[in-house]
Amino acid sequence: MKTIIGLGNPGKRYQLTRHNIGFIIVDAFAQKHNLEFSPGKGDYYFVGSVLDTSHFNLYKPTTYMNLSGIAVKQIIENDNVELDKILIISDDINLDTGKIRIRESGGDGGHNGLSSVIYHLNSDEFLRLRFGVGNDFEEGKMPDYVLQNFYENEWEIIRLKVNFSVSLIEQFIIGGKQLMLNYFSKEQIKNKNSKL
């Protein structure tokens, strides 16, 4: 069972903030496939379905970002999920707005949500999609920045890359990590060549 977890903060006030790009992406996937989230057996909302004969579940923790690991651990225990079947989606201030990076393991990159997940799973061996939200903030202002909405002039690239992220999730569901990575690499090469 493929398991896709978008990280974010629950509630309307955080809906379109940078820190909520994980929620924005899984919501876009759900909307494309006519799926609706429901409360789960733990601190999360979820929806399950099938894509091209492959079963999957989407999740949105309700623990708030800094405690995301509590919900992720509940998901793994409640649904008996293997770590190599998980994809976690989060924002990343170390990447330009709209830039996407996929990592198969590694540290938290200064991200409190990922730090919580690594702590509660006692492992950093899980696939993650990191979505760049930029770092246009003064020293000490990072918490305020990630809890702001995206600027109006950023939404064109955000929508484009959210759609690309939805396609990456589809590849992950259908063919696993390797198909997703192959698709990502092909798109990167195609984009690079189109700019030459």
Q: Which residues are catalytic?
A: 19
Cβ neighbours around 177 below 10 Å, total:
16
Q: What are phi and psi of 7, to 5 degrees?
A: -95, 145
Amino acid making up residue 13: R
Cα dist from 97 to 87, 134, 135, 145, whole Å: 21, 5, 8, 13
Please state, in angstroms and as integers, the Cα–Cα distance from residue 164 to each residue in 131, 157, 161, 184, following that order.
Answer: 11, 11, 5, 9
Q: How far is CA 102 from CA 35, 41, 69, 168, in A?
A: 25, 29, 19, 10
Burial label for 128, CB within 10 Å (0-12, 13-18, 19+), is: buried
